[in-house]
Each structure stands twice: as C-alpha cells, then as structure tokens.
Amino acid sequence: MRYAAVPVGDLRWRAPAAPPTSTTWQQAKEFGPICLGISVAYNSSSQDEDCLFVNVWAPKNADATSKLPVWLFIQGGGYVSNSNANWDGVEVIQKSGNNIVFVNFNYRVAVWGFLASSKVQANGTLNAGLLDQRYLMQWVKTHIAKFGGDPDNVIIHGASAGAGSVALHLTAYGGRNDSLFTAGIAESVFFPAQPFVPQLEYQFDRLVNGTNCTSASDQLACLRSLDTGALQAQNVPSPFPGRTAAPLPSFYWTPCVDGDLVQDLPYSLFAQGRFVKGVPLLFGNDNDEGSYFAANASTSGDMANFLRNNYPLLTANDTDAVAGMYPLEAAAAKHAPWFPSASTAYGEATFICPAMSILNAYNKTDADDEGARLWSYRYNVLDDENVAEGLGVPHLWESYAVFGPASLGGEVVPESYLTYNAPVVPVVMDYFLSFVRTKDPNTLRAPGAPVWGSWGGSGGTNGSRIVLETNDTRMEEVGDAQAARCEFWAGLAPRTQQKKRGESLDLWG
C-alpha cells in the first residue's frame, strides 16, 4: 500500500506528503518497488523513486475490536539501501497464535533520503529518510486499527540502520514523546559518523558538479528537474574529504544533525537525558559485528587507513591507540593477519558500544525501575560456513531466528538453521514475540528457556545480557575488557562524530 505521495520532482528532498485520495479498490497483491540504493543501475523494476510503500500482515479474523500489539519493523541497509525489504510476516503471526499485527515498509535512502546542504535546509527537508519513517509511524497510528492493531501499542524494531533509526526516534526532537511507539527493539544499533550540515556541503557540491547543475541559479531546483537516471548515476560513494580512495567508506550517506528532528550528535543526546523515557528496550548484537565490513588488513597501518576512511576525523595518534587497544588477534580463515582486529574494532565502535551505551543511559535515568525494563543479548550461534569464511557470527545473523528462517524475503535460508541450529529458532522467536506482546521477553518464553535477566538487574558494574547460543543459552556479565574498550571509544567519540568535543560522556564507569 502507498503510505505517502511519490517523492519525485518538487517533492524530492522534502518531508513526505499524503498520497492522492482514491475511492476505488486498490490491488495489494504484490510488493511495490523498494527505494533506490547506492551504486545501483536505474534499470530495474524492483527499485525506484516511487517506493514509499507499506506492508501489513494481520490475522485473518482480526478487526477494529481486536487491539493486537503492532510489531513495526524498520529495515536496515546502512542508510544507503533498503536491504531487509518485504520480509514476510506470516511466520511470526502464526508463531504468536494470531496475536500480533506485523508491519514493514520502505523509506528513502542514500542521495534520495540523506542529501544534506544549507540549500536543502533552506528549501527542502534534511533527513528525509527519517521523516519517511516518522510519517509511517503516524500512518500506523491513524490506520492500523482497521487491520486489528492497537494504535496505542506499537513496538518499533530496527535492524542495523533500522536499529540506529530506533535510537534516533528515541531522541527525536530532543526526546519529545509523540506517543508513536510504546517499546523498542534494536538489532545492531548503527552509529556511523553523523556530521553537521556544514561538514556535508561537499556531497552536495559533488552531486551538482556531476549533474551539470553547477551554473544553475538555483542548484537545488536544477537537481529536482533531472530525471531519475541522471541522479542515480551520481548515487555512488566517494572518499570522505582528505581520505584515500581505497577502501571507500562503507556508508557514504548518513543522517546529519539538522537541529530539529536530530538536534545533536547521538551520544550527546543520550548523555544529556534527551530521550523518550519509560520505554522498555530490547537491544543486542552479534558476536562479530564488524566482519562483513572490515578491510582485509595485512598490517596495523591497513587497519588504521580503513578506520580513518570511515571515521575521517580520527587522527594518526587515535589509530595508534586503537592498535594498542586491539592488538593482533588469532588468525581468521581466508583473511589477512590484521583483519580480526579491524573487524573487532569497527564492530565495537559502530554497533556494540552504541547499543550498550544507550542501555546505560536509560539505566542511569531518574525514572523509577528503568533498569528492570531493559534487556540485552549477545548472539553467538555459529554456522560452519561462516566460520570457514572467517566471519564468526556476523552482523544480523540472528534475523533468521528472530523472524523464522523462511521469512526473509526470498533470501536463501542457511542450512544450519534447518539442521543443527534449528533448536535455537523457537527460543529466539519466543523471546522476541513475548517482548512484542507483553513488553517482557520472559512472559511467554519457550519451555525450558532460561530467564532473561535485565541489563541492570544483577548489580554488576557493566551490565548483564543473555547469550543466545544453540543448546547453551545463558546469562553473562559484560566483561571488564569490553567495557574498557567501549569507554575508550567514548573518549574518541568527538572524532567519530558521535558526540560533541569537550562534552562529558558519563555512560560507562
């Protein structure tokens, strides 16, 4: 279903608008195109600018009186693609006993969703992709009762950039509570460099130069007048200013601090307590978050170059300190010697430490009993093929178990989830479904599954999390070494563009 107007022409780089009203029957038998991502040729019917579609799965007999919890999934893709589009909600609804409604949707990404410039700010909207998400939440609030959902019981769940988006919605408008959601799930919170607008003018200038709009009296109007193919040809990554051409940054287009929806850098907002309070959270990560993204580094210098190409304000002294904090690790199959260290460093800086820091911010809040409403996990389900490729337990590997192996939009189901890792699937699904239905992963957990203790419930200094592992799910304390590394990254956060320089970040210790 279309949830917003087609964002083309003068609607490019503007907040989403209502679609045209229609009083005729609309066929909803197939998925609409997903939003155009980075480095994709504009010749596919599966990706288009006309992409603002929503999918709703509901039990057959649900109606406006059902008031079922709504599981609203925000897909990932590093803000440069829609990489988890159209996942099938049938399996989670069936597993819930027909007691939930499931929603997923597309939002603008890459140049279409995150072009930043003072010119866009003056005559358009920054962070259009995030505003698409916010608009969709309001669409759910308005319409989901027609499908049997409860508009006052919406659980937002994001994966990767979708998880980063959950964090940004918790802090949206400085933590203003618009009553659009009641709980949050985040698989692998994604905190890339998140610059201020003046730091991103070079991206606008590169786009203008590449499309021959340089001499136009109104460069933004010129860009809006171009056909989709001409703009998509320029929707490619480039080195960040002052950095080398190889490796290119993993995520070229990202949200920026716009002073409105995103009022400050993410760590700063959480440290300042500017987030929606009283929201139960379930956050977690995979054991080897960085393995899909890290450069195949042969030397510590290669690792430093990779990190500086993704976090361009890091200095040589910073990356020397990183090498000291992440010395040479045990070898990984099919990879150069410094790949494991680069993978661990990037995974913790970009995914693992942000998730734990957010939980700590909530745990330190003055709200009553906040620590008992926070849960964390470390996913450690090994797959023989991943191990053979030197990837460990990679980014978002848990998604097959969260939604059910057959639900991931036509992706090939890893054989291990159908054989030796099959026992972990009902355990994980029931924890997540229990959280969606009751705001607590324990209420409806699988028979025999251990109690999932809260993040701050054990009295430990670093936080507690469950280890989701085939036939060995258990609780653990975050180790002192990992906590120290997260505190180290907090110290570098002004140069990873995650907090302001000179600002205290008391989220660890």
Each residue's pLDDT tens digit, 460-509? 678 999 999 999 999 999 999 999 999 999 999 999 999 877 666 666 54
pLDDT band at 239 (very low <50, low <70, confident <90, very high): very high
Is residue 285 predicted with pLDDT exceeding 60?
yes
Q: Is 225 a catalytic residue?
A: no
Q: What is the DSSP letter of 217?
A: S
Ramachandran angles phi, psi of 82, nearest 5°: -95, 90
| Count of H-run helices and E-run strands, the chain | 19, 11
- State both tokens at 217: 């009296």
- For residue 369, pLDDT beyond 60: no
Q: Are the C-beta atoms of 456 and 463 separated by less than 8 Å?
A: yes
- Whole-number Å distance between alpha carbons of 487 and 489: 5
CA angle 345, 338, 476 (to 5 degrees): 40
In order of start, what are the domains of the chain with their CATH numbers? 1-276 (3.40.50.1820)
20-24, 214-218, 375-379, 478-482 — which is least confidently predicted?
20-24
Under DSSP, is residue 218 helix (H, G, I), strand (E, B) or coil?
A: coil
Q: According to the model, what pLDDT value does residue 408 have?
A: 79
Percent of the chain with pLDDT over 90: 89
**The pLDDT of residue 457:** 63
Mean pLDDT, range 434-463, rounded to an integer: 91
Write down the pLDDT at residue 311: 97
Q: State the Cα–Cα distance between residues 469 and 431, nearest whole angstrom.
A: 13
For the stretch 247-281, pLDDT in tens is: 999 999 999 999 999 999 999 999 999 999 999 99
The span from the CA of 473 to the CA of 466, in Å, is 7
Nearest residue to 444 via CA among 459, 428, 460, 455:
428
Phi, psi of 70 (to 5 degrees): -110, 120
* CB proximity list for 228: less than 8 A, separation 6 or greater: 8, 36, 42, 48, 49
Cα gap 462→266, rounded to integer Å: 21
Assigned token pair, 232: 């998509």
Q: Reply yes or no on whether the pLDDT at 312 is more than 80.
A: yes
**SS3 of 470-504:** CCCCEEEECCHHHHHHHHHHHHHCCCCCCCCCCCC
Instruction: Report the alpha-carbon distance of residue 153 to residue 273 in Å, rounded.
Output: 24
pLDDT exceeds 60 at position 146:
yes
- Tokens representing residue 404 in the block: 């059910």
Beta strands in 258-327 (DSSP E): 281-286
Average the pLDDT over each of 27-31, 193-197, 213-217, 277-281 and give the range with the smallest value. 27-31
Ranges 31-45, 70-84, 259-273, 483-497: which has the least confidence: 31-45
Strands (E), 329-386: 374-379
Give the pLDDT of residue 458.
57
User: Which has the closest alpha carbon to 158: 94, 84, 101, 100?
Assistant: 84
List the beta bridge partners of residue 282: 185, 375
Q: Provide the token pair at 155.
A: 């659980």
List the one residue out of 415, 445, 425, 422 whose CA is nearest residue 433.
445
Strands 54-57 and 101-105: antiparallel
Spell out where 110-176 has E strands.
149-159
pLDDT higher than threshold 70 for residue 29: yes
Q: What is the mean pLDDT of the chain?
A: 95
CA distance 419 to 112: 41
Asked if 74 and 133 count as a contact pair (C-beta separation under 8 A), the reply is: yes
* Contact partners, residue 408, CB within 8 Å, separation at least 6: 84, 87, 88, 399, 400
> What does the block give as tokens for 58?
């509901």
pLDDT at 150: 99
pLDDT of the residue at 456 = 87
Nearest-angstrom CA–CA distance, 140 and 1: 12
Q: What is the pLDDT of residue 330?
A: 97
Q: Are 132 and 165 in contact (CB under 8 A)?
A: no
Show the beta-strand stretches assigned E in 363-432.
374-379
Instruction: Give the separation between CA 310 and CA 419, rounded to whole angstroms.
Output: 38
Give me 116's structure tokens.
Answer: 């930043």
pLDDT value at residue 119: 98
Mean pLDDT of 438-459: 92
Other CB atoms within a 10 A radius of the CB of residue 503 amount to 14
Alpha-carbon gap, residue 300 to 293, rounded angstroms: 16
Does the pLDDT of residue 367 top 70, yes or no?
Answer: no
Angle subtended at Cα 145 by Cα 139 and Cα 148, rounded to the nearest 5 degrees: 130
List own/partner pairs for 366-370 with CB under 8 A and 24 or more apart: 367/277, 367/278, 370/277, 370/278, 370/456
The yes-or-no verdict on residue 99 having pLDDT over 90 is yes
Residue 64 predicted with pLDDT over 70 = yes
- Of the candidates 96, 160, 250, 464, the residue annotated as catalytic is 160
Q: Is the pLDDT of residue 420 over 90?
A: yes
Please answer whether residues 436 and 428 qualify as being in contact, where contact means their C-beta atoms are separated by less than 8 angstroms.
no
